[in-house]
């Protein structure tokens, strides 16, 4: 793994519907904020909201992207395009993987002007 590949992360985001999840995924890809987004359907979520335990069916997005620019670009972009008041946006480091795939992730998440 190269030094730059240490910059790769997985981001978990939940969305209220397939339509919202797919629209957000396409926007992230168009902006080169993601190289790949997996949509996992029918995730049952239980969580606290406004003093009560809530239960909802959601779509889970698994986004492959870079750590660089995560706070400055990625989070604000998702918040601006997501219907939830407080969207789940959690980053997990990619420790290792198929080197060719990791190189592809780096290439596809390069800044749009590059």
List, for residues 55-109, the tens digit of each pLDDT value: 999 999 999 999 999 999 999 999 999 999 999 999 999 999 999 999 999 999 9
Confidence band of 2 (pLDDT split at 50, 70, 90): low
Q: b/e string for 4-31 if b means 16 or more Cβ within 10 A?
A: ebebbbebebbbeeeebbeebbebbbee
Confidence band of 113 (pLDDT split at 50, 70, 90): low
Pick the CATH number of 4-108 from 3.20.20.450, 2.102.10.10, 3.20.20.370, 3.30.70.120: 3.30.70.120
% pLDDT > 70, the chain: 93
Enter the pTM of the model: 0.92
d(CA 51, CA 97): 41
């Amino acid at each position: 793994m190269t030094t730059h590949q240490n910059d790769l992360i997985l981001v978990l985001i939940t969305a209220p519907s397939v339509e919202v999840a797919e629209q957000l995924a396409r926007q992230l890809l168009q902006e080169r904020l993601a190289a790949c987004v997996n949509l996992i359907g029918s995730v049952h979520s239980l969580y606290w909201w406004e003093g009560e335990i809530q239960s909802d069916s959601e779509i889970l997005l698994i986004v492959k992207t870079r750590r660089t620019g995560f706070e400055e670009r990625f989070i604000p972009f998702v918040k601006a395009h997501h219907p939830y008041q407080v969207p789940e946006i959690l980053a997990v480091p990619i420790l290792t993987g198929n080197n060719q795939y990791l190189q592809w992730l780096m290439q596809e998440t390069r800044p749009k002007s590059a």
